[in-house]
Structure 1
Amino acid sequence: MSKEPAERLTPMGVMVLALLREGDMHPYEMVRLMRARRDERLLAVTNGTLYHTVGRLQRGGLIDEVGTDREGNRPERTTYTLTDAGRDALIGWLRRELSIIDRPAEFRIALAEAHNLERPDVVDCLRIRRVALAEGHALHRDGLTGARRKGAPEQVLVEFERQEVLLDAELRWLDSLLDRLEAEAFPWGPTAFENTDRYLAQRKAAQQ
């Protein structure tokens, strides 16, 4: 059986692996949890895409079946578990996408699932990202200043100006996040919330 390398994971694949990091579950529960957590702000959540992704992950050896059950008139449900290869692929994908700046859609998903990494690991990845952001911000800032000095019309610089402002804002946000992570201002890690009342209620509702 061929294994799915981390770099070939789709965003939906990452979300499925992250869900199974929380515990074994069937696809119906996965969909309900994604919708309860408003994951549709990050990617399109459809039954068809999720079931296709589950099949691909299983064929790649990243997840495996652990049983089936039928309750009342409901269709039979297959429960899946995360394999060691799946865990490694998830962690590898998160580390890579947290560190680079040229894949903004993937970064949002990596950030949403960053709690699957330990705190020092996240800090290391985000510090690498900060270096690249700072370099990009300096290039845009200096380029904008130089263009204005040469008399470039403002109307052709509006996109340049927007990107410089966005990079500056992201740097300030990232510095704040790094400060909070390093000060351990809030719990962190793959098991930090699993016994809270809200989390347990959410899991129970998704299983119905």
Structure 2
Amino acid sequence: MHPYEMRRLIRERRDDRLVSIANGTFYHVVGRLERDGLIVPVGVDRQGGRPERTTYSLTDTGRSAETTWLRRELPRIDNLMEHRVALAEAHVLPREEVARLLTLRRDALAAHRQDLRSGVTAAEDRGVPFQFLVELERETALLDADLAWLDTLLTRLADPGTAWGIHELPPTTRERLTAYRESVLA
């Protein structure tokens, strides 16, 4: 699709809540992706009095870069925003691989939570007042929530009845997606 359509789709999907990109910056990103060989122009069109629009497609190198990035970011616990974007795109990886990567993240989060709880307990034992530990309690509560959510997600991924990836979508959904893609590229 062309950059304008990419931006519109990002807004329509509300993915701009994950990554904020200004219009000018977006075109620079598209240019960089093309220079790096991750996308290639596949056509130029003009509709009515609108300016020409170059349509791009993801290259094999681009697909490989995407999956490499996803495999790196899904198990990480140190960059929440990158992880959220990776979660939004995790559907391009096989279910079993996503479950394995998220299990690694779950284990790392559980270890971090245990370290945090040990630190809070040690601080309380030394008489550190509550007001100096309140943010650590908040972080522990967020970790508890994240771990509970991950457990639920991993259970859903283990269920073969839960659709995952384009090939597992219901036929009517696949048909609508194909029709939408064709209308965008037309």
Same fold (TM over 0.5): yes
Q: Which moved more, 1:173-182 or 1:198-207?
A: 198-207
Which residue of structure 1 lines up, in the alignment, with residue 135 of structure 2?
A: 159
Where does 1:65-80 land on structure 2 (aligned, <5 Å)? Answer: 65-80=41-56
1:161-192 Cα distance to aligned partner (Å, 9 max, x none) = 11111111111110110010011342111444
Matched, 1:37 2:13: yes
Decide which moves more: 170-179 or 40-49: 40-49
Higher relative contact order structure (alpha carbons within 8 Å, sequence separation ≥ 6): 1
Contact 1:29 1:207 in 2 (8 A): no
SS at structure 1 position matched to 2:65: helix
The residue identity in structure 1 corresponding to 2:104 is I
Report the Cα offset of residue 74 of structure 1. Answer: 1.2
Residues 35 and 45, structure 1, Cα contact 8 Å, conserved in 2: no
| C-alpha distance in structure 2 between counterparts of 1:84 and 1:163, whole Å | 40
2:109 equivalent among 126, 129, 133 = 133
Q: Aligned match of 1:120 in 96, 99, 123?
A: 96
- Kindly indicate whether residue 160 of structure 2 is the aligned counterpart of residue 174 of structure 1: no
Q: Which amino acid aligns with 1:189?
A: G
1:18 is matched with none
- Between the aligned residues of both structures, percent identity stands at 54
Aligned counterpart for 1:97 among listed residues 66, 73, 76:
73
The answer to whether 1:83 aligns with 2:53 is: no
Q: What is the DSSP-based 3-state SS (H/G/I as helix, E as strand, rest coil) of the residue aligned with 1:99?
A: coil
TM-score (normalizing by structure 2): 0.90
CA distance in 2: counterparts of 1:128 and 1:134, whole angstroms: 10
Equivalent position SS for 2:40: strand
Output the CA distance in 2 between the equivalents of 1:105 and 1:83.
25
Please give the alpha-carbon distance, in whole angstroms, between the structure 2 residues aligned to 1:184 and 1:143: 40
CA distance in 1, matches of 2:57, 2:49: 25
User: Quick check: 1:26 aligned with 2:2?
Assistant: yes
Deviation at 1:203, TM superposition (A): 5.4
Letter in 2 for 1:58: E
Instruction: Report SS of the residue matched to 1:173.
Output: helix
Q: Quote the Cα distance in structure 2 between the aligned partners of 1:83 and 1:207.
A: 16
Q: Which runs of 5+ in 2 are unaligned?
A: none
Number of residue equivalences: 184
What is the deviation of 1:101? 0.4
Q: What per-residue deviation string (whole Å, max 9, x for no partner) do you get for residues 185-207 of structure 1? A: 42111444595276468658867
Q: Which residue of 1 aligns with 2:28?
A: 52
In the aligned structure 2, how far is the partner of 1:154 from the partner of 1:205? 59
- Of the candidates 189, 196, 199, which is equivalent to residue 165 of structure 2? 189
Q: Structure 1: give runs of 5+ residues left out of the alignment.
A: 1-24
